[in-house]
Structure 1
Amino acid sequence: MTALAVIPARGGSKGIPRKNLLPVGGKPLIAWTIAQALEARGDGDVIVAVSTEDAEIAAVAREHGASVIERPAELATDTAPTEPTVLHAMDVVEADGTELDAVVLLQATSPVRRPDTIRRSIAQFRSTGVESLVGVVPESPFFWRLPTAPGQNAQAAYDVTARPRRQELTAQQMHYFENGSLYVTAPHIYRTRHNRIGGRTDLFVLDEVEGVDIDTLTDVAAAESMLTRLGWRTS
């Protein structure tokens, strides 16, 4: 069976122009996610494909070892959801008879992952038999809610009379933030629900340092620092 790792990468970006090609640690931003996906190929048959409508991104993707799927223009607008792009990529790959058992959706703007993260996520998906696996970053449960009306108190989302020390928190007491870095999904979930999440769902817990997203230029230095910490070679 084969896993398809899809990296959507539009040419347009409102926040940071040409963000997918932004230099990060001496490489285009998208190159980090490609390299991390390629690391997973040693554990089985994994196709690494960048879906894009942009010729420059396509050239960079091929240069760094990924296959390229030409995305239709209607799937590359600012308002186009991600799921139809993944379904298009699945159609292209399956057209030659390839049988997929897993689809891995990777966000290029989350470039910080351990070298074995994607491989482990696919292994967990296959070994547990779930239908969708959501990449999450652990956070403490010390969250608060704003008052719902004037004069009311802010509300804690935890018991303030029995506040545990952070080092004493169990995995079940932690909260888990879906940061968009990765999803692993059974193909039939995309086909029937048109969603990356559905059916029996579990969490793939990322390391806290893997929670860096490139939303602004100030995030670049943090990403470069974390990539170096995880052993990736940057310049």
Structure 2
Amino acid sequence: MTALVVIPARGGSKGIPRKNLLPVGGRPLIAWTIAQALEGAHGAEGDLIVAVSTEDAEIAQVAAAHGARVIERPAHLAEDTTPTEPVVEHAMDVVEAAGTVLDAVVLLQATSPVRRPDTIARALAQFRNSGVDSLVGVVGESPFFWRLPEAPGENATAAYDTAARPRRQELLPEQLHYFENGSLYVTAPRIYRTLHNRIGGRTDLFVLDEVEGVDIDTLTDVAAAEAMLARLGWRTA
């Protein structure tokens, strides 16, 4: 199986300036996702092409230094309002133009830097063995969710049976809610080509470990990411 890993990395960032290059655990943020993808290449069956799509010269230099192929992104695909799917399709165009036939496309978000060393290889194995068209990375959460009242004077409503509240440690997988945290997607190329979406056709969930749910949205998230990376055995400074 030949898979293309696409790591989108735009130079602009509204929340944290130059976020993809933010130092996390002694490395630029994007370097963690590149390292995890390259680790996946060692454990996966078949070929794995690890590519960073960027319009930014500094990000391109950092990505290449950490072992990724760089795909130069056109300016019109690097605007604030640009969706991710056209960026992935452009990367597919570049790789396929060289004659490569893709069996899977893996989308990894650099802002989710915490993954187990074997996560990507396991996700590809699940995608291949299950025969699904798309695989969505999710983190399991308890079902103890509530909705606000729909109108003043009405009751708030629970998403679980409050009269038979289960103990958290006794919850079964089918009782959990699963949160799509944006870290990882595996998709059949034809889904991108026909639906222009990372999700489509027969879809399954790839359940990430709870510690893999860290996203870098603010500077306060950095310490949590560094702690989780160290916990998973990644060497940090």
TM over 0.5: yes
Equivalent AA in structure 2 for residue 168 of structure 1: E
Matches within 5 A, 1:3-18: 3-18=3-18
Q: Which residue of 1 aligns with 2:117?
A: 115
Q: Which residue of 2 aligns with 1:100?
A: 102
Give me the identity figure in percent. Answer: 83
Q: How far apart are residue 30 of structure 1 and its match?
A: 0.0
Q: Return the alpha-carbon distance in structure 1 between the equivalents of residues 3 and 194 of structure 2.
A: 18
Q: How far apart are residue 40 of structure 1 and its match?
A: 1.2
State which of 176, 179, 191 in structure 1 corresponds to 2:178: 176
Matches within 5 A, 1:81-160: 81-160=83-162
Question: Gaps (5+ residues) in structure 1?
Answer: none
Matches within 5 A, 1:30-109: 30-42=30-42, 43=44, 44-109=46-111
1:227 aligns with 2:209: no
TM-score normalised over the length of structure 1: 0.99
1:58-97 residue CA offsets vs partner (Å, 9 max, x unmatched): 0000000000000000000000000000000000000011
Q: How far apart are residue 168 of structure 1 and its match?
A: 1.1
Equivalent AA in structure 1 for residue 48 of structure 2: V
Runs of 4+ in 1 over 6 A off after TM superposition: none
Q: Return the alpha-carbon distance in structure 2 between the equivalents of residues 41 and 203 of structure 1.
A: 21
Q: Return the alpha-carbon distance in structure 1 between the equivalents of residues 41 and 18 of structure 2.
A: 28
Equivalent AA in structure 2 for residue 29 of structure 1: L
Q: Return the alpha-carbon distance in structure 1 between the equivalents of residues 163 and 174 of structure 2.
A: 19
The Cα RMSD (Å) is 0.4
1:21 aligns with 2:2: no
Q: Return the alpha-carbon distance in structure 2 between the equivalents of residues 112 and 41 of structure 1.
A: 17
Q: Which residue of 2 aligns with 1:165?
A: 167
Q: Return the alpha-carbon distance in structure 1 between the equivalents of residues 227 and 169 of structure 2.
A: 25
Equivalent AA in structure 2 for residue 152 of structure 1: E
User: 3-state DSSP class of the match of 1:51?
Assistant: strand
Equivalent AA in structure 2 for residue 135 of structure 1: G
Q: Return the alpha-carbon distance in structure 2 between the equivalents of residues 222 and 40 of structure 1.
A: 23
Question: Gaps (5+ residues) in structure 2?
Answer: none
Give the paired residue count: 235
